[in-house]
């Protein structure tokens, strides 16, 4: 092969140089680069897994928030219903209180009217007794005993009241 211009010693030297360089590059450069690429791939895989976990947690959190909002909405509706019932109850109690107060006022007014009527009747009886005594004095021209005469008139009036009631 020397005829073709190939120098075997030179080819063997190039081959040895190539293998030494290849071995050095593999040991010094290739393995650390490969290790760095594997670590980077592992970090990327780990980041993707964490992103997936975060996505799942976010999904669960959203569901929990929706459930909490729904529960709060229901609780709010219950509170509103209770407030409406309490308001209605207070309204009814106020109406009952007003009715009782009105009834008490009517009873007081009736009592006052009855008292006034009884007083007026007593005043009329007294006045009637006095007029009757004066009239009787003028008719018989002598003075009657006023207390006896009043007693007599009151008895007559009471008897006439019992006849009217029956």
Could you read off the pLDDT of 115-140 as tens digits, one per residue? Answer: 998 888 888 878 877 777 766 666 66
| Residue 118 placed within a domain | yes
Assigned domain for 40 exists: yes
Of 143 and 13, the structure prediction assigns the larger pLDDT to 13
Q: DSSP character for 26? A: I
Phi, psi of 145 (to 5 degrees): -70, 115
Count Cβ neighbours within 10 Å for each residue of 11-20 and write b for 16 or more, e otherwise: eeeeeeeeee
Task: Report yes or no on 3 lying in a domain.
Answer: no
Given this model, what pLDDT does residue 2 score? 57
* 2 occurs within a structural domain: no
Between 56 and 165, residue with greater pLDDT = 56
Structural domain boundaries, residue 21: 8-165
124 close to 149: Cβ distance less than 8 angstroms: no
**Per-residue pLDDT, 30:** 84
Flag whether 147 is in a domain.
yes
Q: Is residue 150 part of a domain?
A: yes
Instruction: State yes or no: pLDDT of 164 exceeds 90.
Output: no
Inform me whether the pLDDT recorded for 145 exceeds 60: yes
The pLDDT score that the predictor gives to residue 166 is 57
pLDDT of residue 90: 95
**Digit-coded pLDDT (tens) for 32-89:** 888 899 999 999 999 999 999 999 999 999 999 999 999 999 999 999 999 999 999 9
Give yes or no for residue 142 having a pLDDT over 60. Answer: no
pTM of the model: 0.41
Q: Taking the CB of residue 153, how many other CB atoms lie within 10 A of it?
A: 19
Whose tokens are 């109690």? That residue is 93
Q: Is residue 120 part of a domain?
A: yes
- Cα distances from 130 to residues 33, 36, 127, 156, 161, in angstroms, run 140, 136, 5, 15, 19
Tell me if 137 sits within 8 A of 162, measured CB to CB: no
Cβ–Cβ < 8 Å for 165, 159: no
Q: Within a domain: residue 111?
A: yes
Number of domains in the chain: 1
pLDDT at 26: 84
């Amino acid at each position: 092969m020397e005829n073709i211009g190939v120098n075997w010693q030179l080819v063997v030297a190039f081959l040895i140089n190539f293998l030494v360089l290849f071995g050095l590059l593999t040991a010094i450069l290739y393995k650390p680069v490969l290790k760095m690429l594997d670590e980077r791939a592992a970090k990327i895989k780990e980041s993707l897994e964490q992103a997936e976990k975060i996505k799942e947690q976010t999904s669960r959190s959203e569901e929990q928030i929706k459930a909490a909002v729904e529960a709060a909405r229901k609780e709010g509706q219950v509170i509103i219903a209770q407030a409406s019932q309490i308001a209605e109850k207070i309204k009814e109690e106020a109406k009952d209180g007003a009715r009782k107060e009105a009834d008490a006022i009517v009873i007081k007014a009736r009592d006052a009217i009855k008292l006034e009527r009884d007083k007026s009747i007593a005043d009329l009886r007294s006045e009637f007794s006095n007029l009757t005594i004066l009239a009787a004095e003028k008719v018989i021209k002598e003075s009657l005993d006023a207390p006896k005469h009043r007693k007599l008139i009151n008895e007559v009036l009471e008897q006439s009241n019992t006849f009217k009631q029956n």
